[in-house]
């Protein structure tokens, strides 16, 4: 506990370019950009293969194989390829990390929608795109959001690798702390990451409440 106080109680840690607010902001920036990039790639792809039911095996197998990639190795590889000085060495591995859960959950969510429901939507005269956007997506939304949440938490936890290649973020406290045996800094950094992950978790719970129809989450009250 003392260590925590040493870290968080130290006024110097709260200002400047290596202060907590700045590092937090950098960390959030990496995470948000990576997550958005992953969403732009994985959601449309997941919707498409879930709806068309084509190419699913290939895509899902590839996505799951990507999960096995060692993130740190990827970071180093990209540094070797593009050099330091850009954020790509962090972003690309984070995007690669975020894609599988989003893709697989979106795909499974859409594909798993009750066959009779799909059938009745077509039977009412909805067109393919309308069936997807007006029926399948709202019904699959809990699973899609779950995929996003898993991805977001992984990204937030993993964005610490930025520090290995000289970039900012909360990883700095952890890595630099380890290097200089400044354990309060290491632990403080880890706590910040954990808190951020918790906030993400909370944020997604709220999002779920706002976005998912009570008819799907079954929490509507009978009037």
Q: Interface residues with another protein (CB under 8 A)?
A: 116-117, 119-127, 130, 135, 138-139, 213-216, 218, 220, 222-223
Nearer to another protein, 85 or 214 (CB): 214
Nearer to another protein, 86 or 120 (CB): 120
- Name residues whose C-beta falls within 8 Å of residue 87's C-beta, 6 or more positions apart in sequence: 30, 33, 162, 167
Instruction: Give the other-Cβ count within 10 Å of 66's Cβ.
Output: 14
Nearer to another protein, 79 or 143 (CB): 143
Start-end of H helices in the chain? 2-8, 20-52, 56-67, 71-82, 88-111, 115-124, 128-130, 137-158, 171-179, 183-211, 214-217
Nearer to another protein, 180 or 213 (CB): 213
In whole angstroms, the minimum distance from the beta carbon of 104 to another protein comes to 22
The CA distances from residue 176 to 6, 167, 180, 181, in Å, are: 16, 12, 6, 8
In whole angstroms, the minimum distance from the beta carbon of 110 to another protein comes to 14
In whole angstroms, the minimum distance from the beta carbon of 52 to another protein comes to 17
Distance from C-alpha of 153 to C-alpha of 155, rounded to nearest angstrom: 5
Distance from C-alpha of 209 to C-alpha of 203, rounded to nearest angstrom: 10
- Name residues whose C-beta falls within 8 Å of residue 30's C-beta, 6 or more positions apart in sequence: 87, 90, 91, 94, 159, 162, 167, 169
Instruction: Give the other-Cβ count within 10 Å of 122's Cβ.
Output: 13
Distance from C-alpha of 154 to C-alpha of 197, rounded to nearest angstrom: 8
Nearer to another protein, 140 or 200 (CB): 140
In whole angstroms, the minimum distance from the beta carbon of 134 to another protein comes to 8
In whole angstroms, the minimum distance from the beta carbon of 70 to another protein comes to 40
Nearer to another protein, 130 or 208 (CB): 130
In whole angstroms, the minimum distance from the beta carbon of 142 to another protein comes to 11
């Amino acid at each position: 506990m003392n260590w925590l106080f040493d870290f968080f109680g130290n006024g110097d840690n709260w200002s400047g370019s290596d202060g907590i607010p700045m590092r937090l902001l950098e960390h959030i920036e990496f995470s948000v950009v990576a997550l958005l990039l992953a969403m732009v790639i994985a959601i449309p792809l997941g919707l498409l293969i879930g709806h068309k039911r084509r190419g699913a095996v290939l895509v899902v197998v590839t996505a799951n194989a990507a999960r096995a990639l060692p993130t740190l190795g990827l970071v180093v590889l990209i540094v070797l390829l593009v050099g330091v000085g850009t954020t790509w060495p962090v972003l690309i591995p984070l995007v690669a990390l975020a894609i599988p859960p989003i893709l697989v959950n979106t795909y499974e969510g859409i594909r798993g929608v009750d066959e009779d429901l799909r059938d009745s939507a077509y039977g009412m005269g909805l067109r393919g795109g309308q069936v997807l956007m007006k029926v399948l997506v709202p019904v699959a939304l809990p699973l899609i959001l779950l995929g996003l949440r898993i991805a977001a938490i992984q990204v937030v936890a993993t964005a610490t690798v930025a520090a290995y290649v000289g970039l900012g973020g909360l990883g700095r406290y952890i890595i630099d702390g380890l290097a200089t045996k400044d354990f309060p800094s290491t632990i403080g950094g880890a706590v910040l990451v954990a808190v951020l992950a918790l906030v993400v978790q909370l944020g997604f719970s709220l999002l779920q409440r706002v976005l998912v129809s009570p008819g799907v989450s079954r929490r509507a009250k009978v009037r």
